[in-house]
Amino acid sequence: MIQENIKKEFLGIYIIWLRDVKRYYRDKPRIIGSFAQPVLFLLVLGTGLASSFAFFGGGGGDAYLNFMFPGIVGMTILFTSFFGAMSIVWDREFGFLKEVLVSPISRTSIVIGKILGGSTVAIIQGSIILLFLPLLTNPIPLTDILKSFGLMFLLAVTISSLGIILASVIKTMQGFQVITNFLLMPMFFLSGAIFPLLDAPRWMIFLSRVNPLTYGIDAIRYMMLRDASLQFFPLWLNITVLLAVSGILSIAGTLLFNRQQ
């Protein structure tokens, strides 16, 4: 009996995960849109800022593109993971969530399936951005790229859990979009994705330290570039914080989702 229940829960997790993945690859405008924004930041903003540094005598145009690339990967994971949780609000408004809630699986399994589904989609989207690796002046070893996938997944789980917390509290699509616009861009700009945080003002450093995205991008940047001078925190601290925050947020998301009526 216990073994059957365990199989049922794992099957429920798999179905929830598979539904999110299928919804992603069937939604071509979503794929194009989520791909276009990082490309715009990388090719337009990144190239423009790099040329500006060279114009003002910085001489670090190519180096800046190297610095910014892991930040764009982190931005892709941020937006993709967060918007993956939006499906909870969407399903609630159209009544599908009620059918899921009355299914013979626990709500904890539903949350796990949503987190894994959103994280998988984020990894797929982040992998597409890796196609621009030839833009970097320093080649990245294949082993470091594979290690970066582990960090990307850990960051995706953290952001997906945060999205589920908000989706469990916010009842309307309009409200979720407002909170998204208010939250995501500050998280991105205060993560060290597009400028170094080492010499930033104290208030900015404080905000960056409470931003989980900071630790994810910092870890991915070190894994890709292997430049300790660009690190804001040690790698072990980045991983520890992401593990702790993802655990806390996933538990909080599960508790809040269990209160769904």
**How many distinct structural domains can be found in the chain?**
1
pLDDT at 159: 93
pTM (whole model) above 0.95: no
Mean pLDDT of the chain: 83
* Distance (Å, whole) CA 152 – CA 196: 20
Token representation of residue 145: 């790229």
Count of Cβ atoms closer than 10 Å to residue 24 Cβ: 22
pLDDT at 24: 84
Residue 138: give the domain boundaries.
2-257
25 vs 45: which has the higher pLDDT: 25
**What's the pLDDT tens digit per position in 37-64?**
777 777 777 666 666 655 444 555 567 7
* Dihedral pair phi/psi, residue 139, rounded to 5°: -65, 145
Helices marked H in the chain — which ranges?
2-26, 28-39, 47-55, 61-84, 86-93, 96-101, 107-129, 142-169, 173-189, 202-209, 212-225, 235-257
Which residues contact residue 156 at a Cβ distance below 8 angstroms, ignoring those fewer than 6 apart?
77, 80, 81, 118, 119, 122, 123, 126
pLDDT (mean) for 213-240: 89
7 vs 135: which has the higher pLDDT: 7
pLDDT at 56: 44
245 vs 257: which has the higher pLDDT: 245
pLDDT at 199: 78
Provide the b/e sequence for 30-64 (b: ≥16 CB within 10 Å). bbeebbeebbebbeeebeebbeebeeeeeeebebb
* Distance (Å, whole) CA 124 – CA 162: 19
**What's the pLDDT tens digit per position in 166-225?**
888 887 878 888 888 788 888 988 888 888 887 788 888 899 999 999 999 999 999 988
pLDDT at 236: 92
Share of the chain above pLDDT 70, in %: 91
Span between the terminal Cα atoms of the chain, in Å: 28
Nearest to 85 by CA among 161, 185, 172, 182: 161
pLDDT at 259: 79
Which residues contact residue 218 at a Cβ distance below 8 angstroms, ignoring those fewer than 6 apart?
192, 231, 232, 233, 238
**What's the pLDDT tens digit per position in 107-132?**
888 899 999 999 999 999 888 888 88
Measured in whole angstroms, the distance separating CA 260 from the mean position of its chain's CA atoms is 25
